[in-house]
């Protein structure tokens, strides 16, 4: 469930971010390339720090920190006005949260498997399946309850 919710946050935010930028914030079409780049760069720098954060805070606290950063980016995005440069800050937080959440959830999964490596392929396969299934259901529900104009 931890990995599935992590991938759900990352994938849904990446799918709907371009529409958010153009439809809600009213930015130019070139922003569709710029803001995901900002998000990926912040994700890269956070991934360099993730092992230290996990070691210093522990996996559960590091995951909770990632959830907090991700929730903060979502709340901030809700209040952004039209053509606001604050989207850069949200993009940075979104990339950082996604990276910290993904690295920590994969570490938790590895801890779960432990020395029982013969079941590792099944665990990662089941995780991948639930990830794909939940993302498909989430997109269907979003499109059903809030269709694009």
- Cβ atoms of 108 and 59 closer than 8 Å: yes
Looking at residue 149, its pLDDT comes to 66
64-112 pLDDT, tens per residue? 999 999 999 999 999 998 888 899 999 999 999 999 999 999 999 988 8
- Cβ atoms of 96 and 69 closer than 8 Å: yes
The parent domain of residue 61 ranges over 2-145
**Distance in Å from the first CA to the final CA of the chain:** 33
When divided into structural domains, the chain yields a total of: 1
pLDDT of 148 over the 80 cut: no
Looking at residue 19, its pLDDT comes to 85
Looking at residue 18, its pLDDT comes to 86
Q: What's the farthest any 2 CA atoms get from each other in the chain?
A: 53
Looking at residue 117, its pLDDT comes to 83
* Joined tokens for residue 116: 């029982």
Looking at residue 144, its pLDDT comes to 92
- CA 15/CA 106 separation, integer angstroms: 22
Looking at residue 130, its pLDDT comes to 93
Looking at residue 83, its pLDDT comes to 87
* Joined tokens for residue 21: 């930028």
- What CATH number is attached to the domain comprising 10? 1.20.1250.20
- This prediction has a pTM of 0.89
* Joined tokens for residue 121: 């392929």
13-63 pLDDT, tens per residue? 988 888 888 888 888 888 888 888 999 999 999 999 999 999 999 999 999
pLDDT band at 147; cut points 50, 70, 90: confident
């Amino acid at each position: 469930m931890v990995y599935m919710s992590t991938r759900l946050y990352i994938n849904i935010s990446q799918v709907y971010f371009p529409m958010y930028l153009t439809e809600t914030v009213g930015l130019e079409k070139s922003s569709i390339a710029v803001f995901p780049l900002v998000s990926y760069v912040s994700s890269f720098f956070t991934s360099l720090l993730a092992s230290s954060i996990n070691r210093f805070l522990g996996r559960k606290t590091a995951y909770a920190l990632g959830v907090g950063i991700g929730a903060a980016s979502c709340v901030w995005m809700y209040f952004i006005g039209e053509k606001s440069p604050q989207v850069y800050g949200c993009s940075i937080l979104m990339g950082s949260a996604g990276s910290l959440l993904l690295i920590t959830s994969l570490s938790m999964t590895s801890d779960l498997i432990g020395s029982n490596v013969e079941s590792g392929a099944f665990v990662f396969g089941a995780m991948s399946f639930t990830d794909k299934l939940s993302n498909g259901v989430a997109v269907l529900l979003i499109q059903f309850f809030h269709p694009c104009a």
